[in-house]
Amino acid sequence: MGFKPRLLRETAEIALTEIKRFIEPRLSEDFSLRRVSAPMFLPVGSELLTPGKRGAVVRLDASGTEVEIVGSLDVWLRGQLLRYDIAPGFGVFTIMNGLRPDLPDNSTSSPHVAAWAWQQAVEQNQCNPAHMVAMARKVHKLLVDTEKMVLSLFPHLHATLARDLEEMAVDDMERLYPGLTHERRVYEHLHPERKDDAGECRQSVLLVWHTNGVCEAVGELWVWNRIIEHPVMLADFGAWRNDGIAGCSLGGNIWRNFLALQILHQDRLMRE
């Protein structure tokens, strides 16, 4: 039997609009972030492009220059902290619509990356894994509250996000599931057949990498999606220090299209 959506396409689009209206004021009020306008592209070779997340290169005929469509705004946003002289405890966020040509285009993946991207300036002693995890838990609560709002508007839906968030170091994940890819380890850990110590199904996990140098820690927030029977990454996080663009910051992305897939009970990504 084919999948029967709980929301019609038109209704899902209305619900996504309500999600945007709910999250963006909370980012300003609860996280002390001001909204800024994001570039669609930057000059090829710009130091504000994020290494390892390359976008498509386009030639502008009028000027004869080549630009790269952004695939990530992490570095650019950290530059905005310096540009606006943002004090610790405050930050910026933007609505990112990027392009990652290396990503497949199918029902659960897309070269179009849509996110609320944000960075918050912090003190030197807050640029560490513990503060990043605390911020990730705050973001997780925002997502849970967002789903509650959706359920109040569409009571025939049901909750998919766990109130609790399991924290796990990537090294521990590798020891538990040796010989597998990163994505497969997440799949095995969150699969409903696997239980935690209390005998309950794991529904969400925050994976944390402890690193050295410019990036002190990175993390990913994964949840299990029962419709596509596969894990979905809803957000990522990082703690950066002394990268030559801004001092210390915490930040990351809330992936808009995957959040909609999860809490609107869709079987494919919504194309915004």
- pLDDT, tens digit, 9 for 90 and up, residues 210-257: 776 667 899 999 999 999 999 999 999 999 986 555 679 999 999 999
Binned average pLDDT, 10 residues per bin, the chain of 272 residues: 76 94 97 94 86 81 88 91 92 92 85 94 91 95 97 94 91 94 94 71 82 80 93 94 74 96 91 68
Q: What predicted TM-score, i.e. pTM, was given to this entire model?
A: 0.91
**Cβ atoms 250, 121 nearer than 8 A:** no
Structure tokens at 77: 């946003």
Domain ranges of the chain: 9-263
CATH node for 9-263: 3.30.930.10
Cα distances from 173 to residues 104, 181, 195, in angstroms, run: 26, 11, 15
